[in-house]
A and B are shown apart, each in its own frame.
Chain A
Amino acid sequence: MTPMEAIVPLLVALPLLTAAGIVAMAHVRPLAKFTSGVAVGVVAVNLVLSLVLLPARVGPIYIGGWSAASTLGIQINCDALAKLMLITVNLVALASLVFSLSYMRQFTKVWMFMSLLVFMVAAMNALVLAGDLFNLFVFLEVAAIASYALVAFGCEAEELEAAFKYLVLGTVGSTLILLGVGILYSLTGQLNMGLVAAGLRKLTLAGGKVGPAPLLAAACLIGGLALKAAMVPFHAWLPDAHPSAPAPISAMLSGVLIKASGVYAMARVVFNVLGPSGPYATVLMTLGALSMVVGVLLAVGQWDFKRLLAYHSISQMGYVVLALGAAAHVLSGPSPQVAVASVCLLGALFHLFNHAAFKSLLFLSSGAIEQQAHTRMLKEMGGLARRMPVTGFCCRIAALSIAGVPPFNGFFSKLIIIVGLAMAGYPVLAALAAFVAFVTLLSFVKVQRYALEGQPSASAAAAHEAPFSMGLAMVVLAVICLLAGPGMMVLRDWLFEPAGRVLMAGSAALIGGAP
């Protein structure tokens, strides 16, 4: 076992240990005040470790000293796609934790919050590293349970209602996923993703058709994961759950949880396990296009800032899933168009990363505004840019990024997605994506107009700048939003292109040890 391979399990073990440790520390008088610091520290260590892992080439790792030949060991899969997700998850988690150092002072029992948040980070790290379907399910559930509790953290009436709705729909989703995993196990006798993929290839009917049983499994899996990703027919829980949580949690949920447990898992299952083929690609594209359009149309009419942001999350995830579906479509069939698929995947993964940065920044700044102006309603705000210069500046950068204004990161990723769609032979969908980008811009002009510009309202007049740690978290994310656009080429070479190659390698990616 090389040193790099020894690092990988630590990404899960350290935060889990810390989550348990925080609970113990909170009950021991002299240690209780260090809980928040420990939480920030472990996530910072995680971020450093995942950056250290980035250039390394790490093959599949087997837990407990099992060998690859036995086909029984539990596999950890630290390929380029997992590395991209690790960096995204830990980056947003660190920003949210630093933000919550000041923000969470209005709540009691902050240690519970810290413990649950670190637990969620550990589960998401494990989720992206999981090399078998059942571990994917387990950590999806662990992350989800932590998030259910965090949504209900404030214990107000609306928060409890939202959390219950989220919990019930989440349970239905995870039951579907487990059913899909069970069917795949009964078909192939394996749970390891690579071996399941190999088993499914043997089951493929003549002419590349997928048999009915794998189709049922795929329907269960994609349905359940679409519920976790809040794709449009299954989106009802997200606009309630994400705004109800405390702001750092909204940032985590919208910023990374729906990506790790929804989009990432869907991409992994469709591309690497089931193998990209016609029906799956059509389903993904339909889900993506629907979410993109319906999400943004529902967002335009919202006056609650956080609710508006939540609807935009649905819409922006629609972009990612649409691009993934287009890539799956051009990869399926007898003559895969690898160049087109790589453009689509680059757009999808770049947009996923960008969305993590700007949406968590938007949610954090909405939290800062809510704390100062005591309202989430856009009409009751006003003139906040003068009262809270740092927050206002960061909020503007994020709004410009999500709206797709040229020098910012959102512009580039949306452009790549639109170009990719056009190249893949879907000019109508490309036009639709451009139209949705325009509506998004309009919606965020409204946010600027009502929240940041204009005359200060009664509630906004007393607002002050956010405390230092909140400002720091927002500035760091804003810098990432600013740099990710011009620095696209560097990021592409280091993060997105290797990750795209993992997805393009299809069902063969997980056996031979992908790049």
Chain B
Amino acid sequence: MGIAIYLLTFAILLAGLYAVVAKKNVVKIIVGAAILDYAVNLFLVLIGWRTVSTAAGAEGGAAPILAAGQSGRQLLASAVDPLPQALILTSIVIALGVTALMVALALRLHEKYGTFDLENIRRLRG
């Protein structure tokens, strides 16, 4: 595993970036922006992953929820880092807002120009 999963995340990021930069369709650009967000979220969740080497081998990756009767120290020994998960939740909320705004703008653009093709949506120059 190790570095390969990060490379995969990076590949998703590049795929999203490609869609945003190279595609000419408004809807495809919105999908590309969403993929870009997911790639970063995936990266953030991966950096929170922790394993603890015990006698039985690598252990960990438990959800960071305190179970009944469990001490904080026991939880710390096995749980993943909860902070990146909180970050992802926030970043998802932001991405939701941005995507909603993008869709609204795309609908309005379609109303004005009658097309989703950016080749034809070019009234601004310079």
Specify which of A158, A162, A185 is in contact with B84 (CB 8 Å cutoff). A185
Which residues of chain A are near B90, meaning CB under 8 Å?
Answer: 134, 138
**Given A145-B98, A171-B98: A160 and B29 interface contact (C-beta under 8 Å):** no
> How far apart sit A244 and B126, CA to CA, in the bound complex (Å)?
13
Count, chain B residues at interface, CB 8 A: 33
The A interface, classified by DSSP as helix, strand, loop or mixed, is helix
> How far apart sit A175 and B13, CA to CA, in the bound complex (Å)?
10
**Given A138-B90, A185-B84, A186-B47: A161 and B109 interface contact (C-beta under 8 Å):** yes
> How far apart sit A57 and B105, CA to CA, in the bound complex (Å)?
45
Instruction: Check if A164 sits within 8 Å of B109, measured CB to CB.
Output: yes
Instruction: Check if A175 sits within 8 Å of B108, measured CB to CB.
Output: no
Count, chain A residues at interface, CB 8 A: 36
Instruction: Check if B44 sits within 8 Å of A182, measured CB to CB.
Output: yes
Within A157-204, the residues touching B (CB, 8 Å) are 157-158, 160-165, 167-168, 171-172, 174-175, 178-179, 182, 185-186, 191
CB distance from A310 to the nearest CB of B (A): 9
Specify which of A175, A185, A302 is in contact with B36 (CB 8 Å cutoff). A175
CB distance from B30 to the nearest CB of A (A): 8
What are 5 pairs between A and B in contact, CB < 8 Å? A148-B105, A163-B105, A164-B109, A167-B98, A182-B44
Interface residue? A239 (CB, 8 A): yes
Which residues of chain A are near B101, meaning CB under 8 Å?
Answer: 145, 148-149, 167
Interface residue? A52 (CB, 8 A): no
Q: Which chain B residues have a beta carbon within 8 Å of chain A's beta carbons?
A: 13, 17, 20, 26, 29, 33, 36-37, 40, 43-44, 47, 83-84, 87, 90-91, 94, 97-98, 101-102, 105-106, 108-109, 112-113, 121-124, 126
Instruction: Check if A167 sits within 8 Å of B113, measured CB to CB.
Output: no
> How far apart sit A172 and B113, CA to CA, in the bound complex (Å)?
25
Which residues of chain A are near B47, meaning CB under 8 Å?
Answer: 182, 185-186
Interface residue? A79 (CB, 8 A): no
Q: A168-B102, A182-B87 are in contact. List 15 more A-B contacts (CB 8 A).
A: A134-B90, A148-B101, A149-B101, A152-B105, A161-B121, A164-B109, A171-B33, A171-B36, A171-B37, A172-B20, A172-B33, A178-B40, A186-B47, A298-B126, A302-B126
Which residues of chain A are near B43, meaning CB under 8 Å?
Answer: 179, 182
Q: Which residue of A lies closest to B99 (CB)?
A: A171
Which residues of chain A are near B36, meaning CB under 8 Å?
Answer: 171-172, 175
Instruction: Check if A155 sits within 8 Å of B98, measured CB to CB.
Output: no
> How far apart sit A166 and B7, CA to CA, in the bound complex (Å)?
29
Instruction: Check if A145 sits within 8 Å of B97, measured CB to CB.
Output: yes
Instruction: Check if A161 sits within 8 Å of B98, measured CB to CB.
Output: no
Q: Which residue of B lies closest to A185 (CB)?
A: B47
CB distance from B29 to the nearest CB of A (A): 6
> How far apart sit A95 and B87, CA to CA, in the bound complex (Å)?
35
> How far apart sit A307 and B126, CA to CA, in the bound complex (Å)?
9
> How far apart sit A123 and B124, CA to CA, in the bound complex (Å)?
29
Specify which of B33, B87, B124 is in contact with A162 (CB 8 Å cutoff). B124
CB distance from B3 to the nearest CB of A (A): 12
Instruction: Check if A157 sits within 8 Å of B112, measured CB to CB.
Output: yes
CB distance from A150 to the nearest CB of B (A): 11
Q: Which residue of B lies closest to A182 (CB)?
A: B44
Q: Which residue of A lies closest to B87 (CB)?
A: A134
Q: Which residue of B lies closest to A310 (CB)?
A: B126
Which residues of chain B are near A163, meaning CB under 8 Å?
Answer: 105
Instruction: Check if A175 sits within 8 Å of B105, measured CB to CB.
Output: no
Specify which of A142, A145, A161 is in contact with B124 (CB 8 Å cutoff). A161
> How far apart sit A145 and B91, CA to CA, in the bound complex (Å)?
13
Interface residue? A141 (CB, 8 A): yes
CB distance from A433 to the nearest CB of B (A): 24
Instruction: Indicate the member of A141, A175, A186 with the most B CB atoms within 10 Å.
Output: A175
Which residues of chain B are near A307, meaning CB under 8 Å?
Answer: 126
Which residues of chain A are near B112, meaning CB under 8 Å?
Answer: 156-157, 160
Which residues of chain A are near B98, meaning CB under 8 Å?
Answer: 141, 145, 148, 167, 171
Across the A-B interface, give the 5 residue pairs with the lowest CB-CB distance, nearest first.
Answer: A186-B47, A157-B112, A141-B94, A240-B124, A171-B33
**Given A168-B20, A185-B47, A186-B47: A138 and B94 interface contact (C-beta under 8 Å):** yes
Interface string of A295-336 (1 = CB under 8 A from B): 000100010000100000000000000000000000000000
CB distance from A59 to the nearest CB of B (A): 24
**Given A134-B87, A157-B112: A164 and B37 interface contact (C-beta under 8 Å):** no
Instruction: Check if A168 sits within 8 Å of B29, measured CB to CB.
Output: yes
Within A319-368, the residues touching B (CB, 8 Å) are none
